[in-house]
């Protein structure tokens, strides 16, 4: 059993993950939080690539849990954090930078009882380097136990926090995509889920206007053009996923009017 940061005065922090065939990044992610984590909990939904064994070898507790959906799976991980004072919720493809580690340590050492959650900036990495696109993608990830819960959404799940929140210095390095095909497939999967959210509607006009706007926003306004070919590729992927989402919404609405079950 590998020791975590509790042997070096780590705060009362439990880091929790949800995983499924995550060997590409999970070992580096766990190592990045070991200096500050007193406990690491992994909720795995049936990995077959050695993820569970790798996590246990690094000292993490591993729990088998059939897939419940994004929000409910992460809520299960939060619930397993037990008596920890603080919880850091990470995806398996997120790496904590040394600057963020020190910011977490400092925030928890201050012991400000008026703060129940912290926003962290994510920076996307693609083909070996950081992207300017979507930076800083701020997400609440560090929360006081008992003061936060997952909002049950089909996709782009978020943590709801009771009380005051602040921002932390440092970044999460988000290594979400390995290739343009991987990026496209992942974004299409998210778009497919988003299109099935009840109450959402679209039109051909929105598809025609929003897809080019997604490219312009990413490539020009968010600085993707400064990332060279990598930025161009991801900007195109985001535009394609946006178009797909609106076309899927239109199709679902048409099927609903016709009484055809959605696919």
In a domain, 10, yes or no: yes
Number of domains in the chain: 2
Q: Which two tokens stand for residue 117?
A: 């959650």
In whole angstroms, give the CA distance from residue 197 to residue 162.
25
Per-residue model confidence as pLDDT tens for the chain (263 residues): 444 554 456 689 999 999 999 999 999 999 999 999 999 999 999 999 999 999 999 999 999 999 999 899 999 999 999 889 999 999 999 999 999 999 999 999 999 999 999 999 999 999 999 999 999 999 999 999 999 999 876 666 789 999 999 999 999 999 999 999 999 999 999 888 887 777 788 899 999 999 999 999 999 999 999 999 999 999 999 999 999 999 999 988 887 777 765 55
Residues 169 and 218 grouped into a single domain: no
Per-residue CA distances from 150 to 33, 42, 70, 113, 157 (Å): 22, 17, 9, 21, 7
User: What is the domain extent for residue 48?
Assistant: 5-177
- Out of 117, 151, 177, a domain closes at 177
Residues 32 and 151 grouped into a single domain: yes
Residues 98 and 165 grouped into a single domain: yes
Q: Which two tokens stand for residue 58?
A: 């690094």
Going by the DSSP 8-state scheme, the letter that residue 201 receives in this structure is -
Residues 206 and 76 grouped into a single domain: no
Burial class (CB in 10 A: 0-12, 13-18, 19+), 151: exposed
Residues 23 and 134 grouped into a single domain: yes
Per-residue CA distances from 111 to 101, 104, 108 (Å): 16, 11, 5
In whole angstroms, give the CA distance from residue 62 to residue 49.
14
Q: What is the pLDDT, as a whole number, of residue 199? A: 78
Per-residue CA distances from 240 to 178, 222, 256 (Å): 18, 17, 24
Rounded to two decimals, the pTM is: 0.88
Q: What is the pLDDT, as a whole number, of residue 191? A: 86
Residues 103 and 147 grouped into a single domain: yes
Task: Identify the CA nearest to 89 among candidates 120, 49, 46, 125.
Answer: 120
Q: What is the pLDDT, as a whole number, of residue 259? A: 72
Residues 135 and 198 grouped into a single domain: no
Residues 107 and 152 grouped into a single domain: yes
Residues 164 and 193 grouped into a single domain: no
Q: What is the pLDDT, as a whole number, of residue 120? A: 98
- Out of 177, 196, 214, a domain closes at 177
CATH number (domain holding residue 146): 3.90.550.10
Are 117 and 159 in contact by the 8 Å Cβ rule? The answer is yes
Q: What's the sign of the alpha-carbon dihedral 258, 260, 261, 262? A: negative
Residues 77 and 96 grouped into a single domain: yes
Q: Which two tokens stand for residue 25?
A: 């990044």
In a domain, 263, yes or no: no
Residues 45 and 155 grouped into a single domain: yes
């Amino acid at each position: 059993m590998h020791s975590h940061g509790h042997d070096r005065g780590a705060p009362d922090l439990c880091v929790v993950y949800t995983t499924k065939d995550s060997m590409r990044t999970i070992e580096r992610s766990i190592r990045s939080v070991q200096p500050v984590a007193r406990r690491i909990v992994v909720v795995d939904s049936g990995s077959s690539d050695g993820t569970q064994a790798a996590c246990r070898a690094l000292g993490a507790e591993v729990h088998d849990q059939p897939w419940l959906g994004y929000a409910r799976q992460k809520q299960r991980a939060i619930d397993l954090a037990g008596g920890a004072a603080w919880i850091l919720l990470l995806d398996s493809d997120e790496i904590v930078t040394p600057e963020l580690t020190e910011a977490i340590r400092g925030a928890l050492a201050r012991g400000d009882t008026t703060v129940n959650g912290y926003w962290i900036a994510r920076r996307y990495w693609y083909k070996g380097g950081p992207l300017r696109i979507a930076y800083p993608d701020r997400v609440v990830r560090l929360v006081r136990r008992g003061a936060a819960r997952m909002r049950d959404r089909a996709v782009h799940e978020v943590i709801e926090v009771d009380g005051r929140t602040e921002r932390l210095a440092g970044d999460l390095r988000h290594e979400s995509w390995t290739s343009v095909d991987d990026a496209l497939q992942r974004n299409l999967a998210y778009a497919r889920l988003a299109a099935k959210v009840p109450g959402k509607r679209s039109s051909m006009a929105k598809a025609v206007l929003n897809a080019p706007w997604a490219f312009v926003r990413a490539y020009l306004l968010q600085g993707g053009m400064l990332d060279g070919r990598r930025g161009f590729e991801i900007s195109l992927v985001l535009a394609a996923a946006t178009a797909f989402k609106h076309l899927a919404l239109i199709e679902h609405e048409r099927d609903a009017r016709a009484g055809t079950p959605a696919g």
